[in-house]
Amino acid sequence: MEALASLNPPFQSLPYFSSTPRTSFPTSRVYISNRNPFFTFSVRAQMGSTEGSASITSYTEPVEEVLKIKEWEVGMFQNEVAASQGIRIRRRPPTGPPLHYVGPFEFRLQNDGNTPRNILEEIVWNKDVEVAKLKERKPLIALKRAIDNAPPARDFIGALKAANERTGLPGLIAEVKKASPSRGILREDFNPVEIAQAYQKGGAACLSVLTDEKYFKGSFENLELIRNAGVKCPLLCKEFIIDAWQLYYARSKGSDAVLLIAAVLPDLDIKYMVKICKLLGLSALVEVHDEREFDRVLGIEGIELIGINNRNLETFELDISITKKLLEGERRKIIQEKNITIVGESGLFTPSDIAYVQEAGVKAVLVGESIVKQSDPGKGISNLFGKDVS
């Protein structure tokens, strides 16, 4: 590896791209081997005989492939950007993809960094691979055509506010959820349409539909089935979103709102995705679970809906006092000034739980486990609030 140490200028990871066509790259960069099945980038690196620098002597790959490589290389820094904002969830394994990491020599670093540190990180890494495959099968142009032909999105936030005004209680987002990593299977006889219809009859303002298949046994098919069954409640696509493409996909499947998780997404991603949501007519429920995330999100323009998750997303431990803690002091004033609707999430099982978070300042709640497990989910809503809210 002495040749690596002798490279001059210093080893860098991002190739330079300008508007002027180039036939070669600057020396001492990262290149992808032609044996790499992920990108098949055909180049040949050789060591210079006088200065010890690496140069490219052949380059034949189309521009599209170069851009794919640049996208991956930029992506390598997402973890560093996220960490600077207190985000501990890494977007993808630090040492891959691609399968081979190439300087002048081909090798791949193998270390414990490629092991997810918690369940949320595992979910995100799996989602990164899943979305990459879906994007190949469903290009953005096809999704845009589907959206152009779809009915307009329904007013998710408006439905929550109307329910709050009508009942004097937080508007309910009832979750259509078969399973979770922490609780396992919640309901064996799971019929998403029947559950959604029972929720609507029981007084739910909106519905949340789990679409993650591997960890929550959900699907986008469930989302489509509920929408096509004539359920009038606005629908939240409950998905782990890491790519703007997923917003278009969710809208094309009938969603009226999407979930954005601050524990996963840096500020720039949230700003960008919120703007796309507005263009598509989607509401964005931005989820936080600690003070730093809340302050980050409050500083982003255009946020209208913030969910406070009482569940630690890394350990899955529950503590509903988190909602009260985060809504104290200056934050409550900012929320009122910006007219932001706060949603309480997780750990809500009884009327006293609802009263506790309502007193703290929430105007809506997202509840799944405590009502989906009931034999009649509609009556589960009455038990949750201590009264009939239909």
Provide CB contacts within 8 A for 384, sequence distance 6+.
172, 348, 349, 350, 351, 354, 367, 370, 371
Report CA dihedral (78, 84, 88, 93) to the nearest 10 degrees.
Answer: 30
Give the separation between CA 372 and CA 200, rounded to whole angstroms: 13
Residues 343 and 252 both lie in one domain: yes
Residues 109 and 182 both lie in one domain: no
In tens digits, the chain (390 residues) has pLDDT values of 434 333 333 333 333 333 333 333 333 333 333 333 333 333 333 333 333 333 333 334 455 554 444 444 445 556 676 777 877 788 878 765 444 444 554 444 444 567 888 889 999 999 999 999 999 999 999 999 999 988 999 999 999 999 999 999 999 999 999 999 888 999 999 999 999 999 999 999 999 999 999 999 999 999 999 999 999 999 999 999 999 999 999 999 999 999 999 999 999 999 999 999 999 999 999 999 999 999 999 999 999 999 999 988 777 789 999 999 999 999 999 999 999 999 999 999 999 999 999 999 999 999 999 999 999 999 999 999 999 999
Domain contains 122: no
Give the separation between CA 256 and CA 246, rounded to whole angstroms: 13
Domain contains 126: no
Residues 96 and 217 both lie in one domain: no
Domain extent, residue 267, equals 137-385
Residues 86 and 229 both lie in one domain: no
Residues 200 and 70 both lie in one domain: no
Torsions phi, psi of 329, nearest 5? 70, -140
Residues 73 and 197 both lie in one domain: no
Whole-Å CA distances, 328 to 321, 333, 360: 11, 9, 8
Domain contains 42: yes
Nearest to 176 by CA among 217, 144, 230, 135: 217
CATH number at residue 248: 3.20.20.70
Question: What is the identity of the amino acid at 233?
Answer: C
Residues 327 and 379 both lie in one domain: yes
pTM of the predicted model as reported, rounded to 2 decimal places = 0.77
Number of domains in the chain: 2
